[in-house]
Amino acid sequence: MLRKLQLFAAAAVVSVVLAACTNAAEDLQENRWEADRLSGIVTMTQAEDWESVTADDLFQARTLYIGNASGTGTLIQMVKSYFHIGEASTMELQTTTPPYGLMLHFKKKPDLLAMQKASAVLIGLIDNCSSVSWDYPVDRDGNREACWVSQTLMGQMLNEGRYVKEYAESADSVARLLSLTEEISEPLQPKARASSLDEAVSAAILECSQSVYREDEAAGEGHLILETQEKDDEVIVYALTMYGSYQFQDGNFVKNSGSGAIPAVITLEENPDGSLWWKWYQTPEDGNRYQDSIEALFPESVWEACRKPDSQQLKTLKQQEKSYAAAYLKTIGRQAEIGEYRDFSHPLLTEAGVSVEVSNKLLDCGRDDPDSPAAYAPRWIGNIERLENGVRYVYACDYDAEQQEIIYTKKEYATGKIMEQVVFDAVSGDRKEIQT
């Protein structure tokens, strides 16, 4: 157990050294893979041929618990072998409170794309693993950088509309997961290396939140550092955080998704050159576990601020978050009122007299036809803007009470040119042919 994580109230973090023992293949008997935990070290025995690992092998090696260091270590070595990742690494587990995470510390820089693919399999086959990170040296001075992927982000990369954990259901599902990883072609960008504590905290909030909330045109964060603790090369930050993703709605720049004030524990790693990058990002559990997880994660001195931020703290967080939106507007030469969804009027179709049944039917139409303007147009009578391959488009929902029609339109922002339009009967909800 790492003493430095005693700050997390009995954190269950385990460091495990993985070593390939190529001279013990004859002792494997029926199993090609073997793990023995000896005094905190997991020793891996690997078959001679890298290609010998199969989808069935990986399926059989799946584990329910990331805290099962022996089982997790075995799976890591198998996955590394499958993706031809030969660089030696040690393993660190974050099992204080959910979401649980796995981190691999490499002695040499691995193939980042291969590690990205390997992470998909690790997240899929370790049932309660929510993220995988890996770090590696970037120079001879001991400076390191890291990459990170969450199960949400990985689901987006696989782009099949399935929860990553579903691929652990059978050997055939694992085989499908392996085939999907081959379609991943763009390696992740390393975590930001910041020059100050505030910059490092900002980077952590933005990078973690962007995989959780809807991605819109601009994102912003706010944070208040409540307390910090230092140990060796780590800085543990206890903070109040806020995140917002902004979109143009009816000409206003609106927080379309994001969070309120959320307490977070952010563990930062300090490089020899003084730069900082975030290592672990933890927030309290939801529901009836919220209070207990605050007490497990945070020192008692900040419990009250975590439970109930005061009005000034909330105001400061909102101001900081909005400052990102304001800065973005300046970069694109736009002026707009910045606010939250509730700050603006969003007249619904049902308020204009359209039945709930028809309104719901139109929602289904948008989901069933992702290329239709109805898929992106707002659910209210108005418009939103989207950037697509660098071109700005306006998606609008209009209601013609006289003709009893609901019209969804996509047009270019700059020219007003209509790119596509679909019309629905406001009484039946059926699509109508547009008269030309």
Per residue, the 3-state secondary structure of 154-165, as one string, reads: HHHHHCCCCCHH
Peptide bond connecting 284 to the previous residue in cis, omega within 30 degrees of 0: no
Instruction: Tell me the pairing of strands 100-106 and 129-137.
Output: parallel
Contact 35, 73 (CB under 8 A): yes
Q: Which residues, including other chains, have CB under 8 Å from residue 177's CB and lie 6 or more apart?
A: 120, 121, 124, 158, 164, 167
Distance CA 44, CA 406 (A): 63
Burial (CB count within 10 angstroms: exposed 0-12, middle 13-18, buried 19+), residue 124? buried
221 φ/ψ angles, rounded to the nearest 5 degrees? -140, 160
User: In the prediction, which pLDDT does 3 show?
Assistant: 32
Report the amino acid identity of residue 54: T
Instruction: Determine how many CB atoms are found less than 10 A away from the CB of residue 222.
Output: 26
Residues of the chain with pLDDT under 70: 1-51, 366, 435-436
pLDDT digits (tens, 9 = 90+) for 126-142: 999 999 999 999 999 99
